[in-house]
Amino acid sequence: MTTHASYGEVHGPNVGEMSRRSFMRRMLGVGVGLLSLEFLGGTLAFLWPNLTGGLGGQIEIGTAADINSQQPAWKTGEPYIYTKARLFFVNVPAAKSLVDGSKQTVEDPGTDVSPDIEPANRSVLALYRKCPHLGCQIPQLCDKSEWFECLCHGSKYTVLGEKRDGPAPRGMDRFDVTMNGDIYTVDTSKIVTGPPIGTATFDNRGPGDMQHCVG
């Protein structure tokens, strides 16, 4: 026989059970909390290098021979991607010859790494891959322009990190390099601010002078 609740009986969850509405409310709260945490984490990650002033300490990249064995095109000018420190390690004389078309092979660019030397005359440069516009990771050199071209908003930089186009406020930031014997060592504890807009050393081409990989 079917029984019915009598008039005046209180309906709802049993004691200790959660109503559907309060369950939904709690889940919404959890969702908002997770989103806030994600946002906070992303913001801190973005700001972290600026807050600490660096990524870490001295990083040994290797000898010229080590780098060529890792990435054979380094000796013909293709920047070496060192993923752990998010940097491009540029063989400067080889990169310049790639751009000017003389296409020389430079197995060992030498030991002229002092920050007192003009960047275009150094043996190597360590360029930070974090775009100085809004922090996107800059991809490998575009093979059409031989420039670095940021995929996010189209900022463009020469192979030495000098700004040529787009919304970035300056050239690519970099790190100082020292020699430990014949091992190139990058000081990632301090970010060296990129060159101001208008800096042009050996590559004076404008954005309209060639094809590009980005817009």
Tell me which residues touch ligand FES (CB under 6 A).
131, 133-136, 150, 152-155, 166-168
What's the closest the beta carbon of residue 131 comes to ligand FES, in angstroms? Answer: 3
Residue type, 35: L
What's the closest the beta carbon of residue 205 comes to ligand FES, in angstroms? Answer: 19
Are 79 and 127 in contact by the 8 Å Cβ rule? The answer is yes
What's the closest the beta carbon of residue 54 comes to ligand FES, in angstroms? Answer: 20
Cβ closer to ligand FES: 23 or 48? 48
Are 91 and 80 in contact by the 8 Å Cβ rule? The answer is yes
Cβ closer to ligand FES: 152 or 213? 152
Cβ closer to ligand FES: 122 or 130? 130
Are 187 and 128 in contact by the 8 Å Cβ rule? The answer is no
What's the closest the beta carbon of residue 210 comes to ligand FES, in angstroms? Answer: 19
Residues in the chain, how many?
215
Cβ closer to ligand FES: 77 or 166? 166
DSSP for 153-202?
T--EE-TT--EEESS-SBS--EEEEEEETTEEEEEEEEEEPPPBTT--SS
